[in-house]
Amino acid sequence: MSQFIPLSVPNFGAREAALAGEAITSGWVSTSGGKVTEFEQALADYVHMPRAVACNAGSSALHLAAMAAGITRGDEVIVPTLTFIAAVNPLTRYVGAEPIFIGCDDSLCIDPDAVEAFCAERCELRGGKLYNKATGAHVKALEVVHVFGNLGDMERLTEIAQKYHLILIEDATEALGTRFTAGKFAGKFAGTVGDIGCYSFNGNKIITTGAGGAVVSNHPDWAEHAKHLSTQAKTNLLQFFHDEVGYNYRMTNVQACLGIAQLERLEAFIAHKKALYDHYVEKLDGVKGLRILPFREDCTRPNHWFFSLYVKDFALDRDEIIEKLQAQGIQTRPVWALIHEQADYPRNEAYALDKALDYRKYIVNLPCSTNLSMEDCDRVIDAVLAL
């Protein structure tokens, strides 16, 4: 049988091995050592921000963002339901807040019309704060997740956040490198438009440090606070005084070496993803009722992280397709089960779900690794066409 084609795997080379090897040989394998600072600066330079705070996971980055933004017990946060669970738990239950779930538009990102309607109809502004009329709680923040590397509608969402006094948090864990090319935010990167943004360097993301994450913020004191919280909130290095409850969310020096090497290759990875995506579009979009969902390429340069085959009008259903491709050694997957349906969340409010339910039912994510060869991409295409 021909080789297994995974969905999305790391792409490490000689440079990653050399840099990580140097860290190991030098003995600087833990959270001290200069490479974390070097990686933070390289990342900050890449996304045109003054600083970035590295940490040990995207989930930790989101938890740090929630704490830096001051989200706390009793607050409510408007979040998307079509996303990975780690976009929601850290901003809500980790800090004692509750989510309000909103569906998506055709970008797969949170639907600004539905957010606006929720704020206008179900909330009221009092003393500069937005209150949920049903629960009486302070609705403090709005989260946009740039799903699969596609930028959400930031022009609308920033306006809504301003009008309703909401902190705007960007989960850009899937969207490192995605940026605006036109409009009000031309040149700005995903994660750098709102109040605070988060990245992930988990193994399946566009660049990886094995596990890792980072926070950037347009409020320098929030970034500073995130760093402080990630390093046990220590105020005195020798005497071990701590001024609040902190966390050990630090990135290690070895991970930072991987990050430095991966960041050097990010633009090449994005170019390869685009070539793969364009190839899938050329061969599959519009064939036999199949579609490849678009990215917002009119005003953004997406990183094309994950590709979505949309199978509503195809002869086989989502799970049959996944199973048949798996039998041929090709790994695909459905989009995440919606968060408002997950274990502890069905009691929370959820609005404008139609599109999220539809995309949940009909999306199959296709192999998209940055080291997927064009030959293997053709093998996936042929297998789909032969279904």
Ligand X SMILES: *Cc1c(COP(=O)(O)O)cnc(C)c1O
Tokens of 249: 């969310």
- Helix/strand/coil percent split, the chain, to 5: 40, 20, 45
Neighbouring C-alpha atoms within 13 Å toward the C-beta of 140: 20
N-to-C CA span, the chain: 18
Q: Which stretch binds ligand X (CB under 6 A): 20-28, 52-60, 63-71, 346-354?
A: 52-60
Residue 87 or 284: the one with the smaller Cβ distance to ligand X is: 87
Q: How far is the CB of 189 from ligand X (least distance, A)?
A: 16
Residue 59 or 348: the one with the smaller Cβ distance to ligand X is: 59
Nearest CA among 189, 104, 200, 178 for reference residue 144: 104
Integer Cα distance of 333 and 322 in angstroms: 6
Residue 266 C-alpha from the chain's centroid: 16
Tokens of 116: 């606006």
Contact assessment for residue 85 and residue 58, using Cβ atoms and an 8 Å cutoff: no
Out of 33, 103, 112, 213, name the contact with ligand X by CB under 6 A. 213
Question: Under the criterion CB under 6 A, does residue 58 sit at the interface with ligand X?
Answer: yes
Integer Cα distance of 137 and 98 in angstroms: 9
Token pair 């685009």: residue: 274
- Tell me how many residues contact ligand X (CB under 6 A): 14
Question: Under the criterion CB under 6 A, does residue 195 sit at the interface with ligand X?
Answer: no
Q: Which stretch binds ligand X (CB under 6 A): 8-16, 37-45, 55-63, 100-108?
A: 55-63
Complete DSSP assignment for 32-50: -STHHHHHHHHHHHHTT-S
Question: Under the criterion CB under 6 A, does residue 200 sit at the interface with ligand X?
Answer: yes
Question: Under the criterion CB under 6 A, does residue 91 sit at the interface with ligand X?
Answer: no
Residue 83 or 300: the one with the smaller Cβ distance to ligand X is: 83
Using Cβ positions, the residue closest to ligand X within the complex turns out to be 58
Residue 191 or 367: the one with the smaller Cβ distance to ligand X is: 191
Per CB under 6 A, contacts with ligand X among 139-178 are: 145, 171, 173-174
Token pair 């364009």: residue: 278
Phi and psi at residue 141, to the nearest 5°: -145, 160
Q: How far is the CB of 255 from ligand X (least distance, A)?
A: 11
Nearest CA among 151, 150, 132 for reference residue 140: 132
Tokens of 121: 């109809």
Q: Which stretch binds ligand X (CB under 6 A): 13-21, 54-62, 272-280, 315-323?
A: 54-62
Residue 65 or 384: the one with the smaller Cβ distance to ligand X is: 65
Residue 76 or 171: the one with the smaller Cβ distance to ligand X is: 171
Q: What angle do CA 106, 110, 111 make, to 5 degrees?
A: 65
Question: Under the criterion CB under 6 A, does residue 202 sit at the interface with ligand X?
Answer: yes
Question: Under the criterion CB under 6 A, does residue 81 sit at the interface with ligand X?
Answer: no
Question: Under the criterion CB under 6 A, does residue 111 sit at the interface with ligand X?
Answer: no
Question: Under the criterion CB under 6 A, does residue 99 sit at the interface with ligand X?
Answer: no
Q: Where are the alpha helices (DSSP H) in the chain?
A: 14-26, 35-46, 58-68, 112-122, 154-163, 220-230, 253-284, 318-327, 354-362, 374-385
Question: Under the criterion CB under 6 A, does residue 208 sit at the interface with ligand X?
Answer: no
H or E stretch at 167: strand 167-171
Question: Under the criterion CB under 6 A, does residue 303 sit at the interface with ligand X?
Answer: no
Q: Between 225 and 264, how does the x/- string for binding to ligand X read (CB under 6 A)?
A: ----------------------------------------
Question: Under the criterion CB under 6 A, does residue 191 sit at the interface with ligand X?
Answer: no
Question: Under the criterion CB under 6 A, does residue 83 sit at the interface with ligand X?
Answer: yes
List contacts with ligand X (CB under 6 A): 57-59, 83-84, 86-87, 145, 171, 173-174, 200, 202, 213
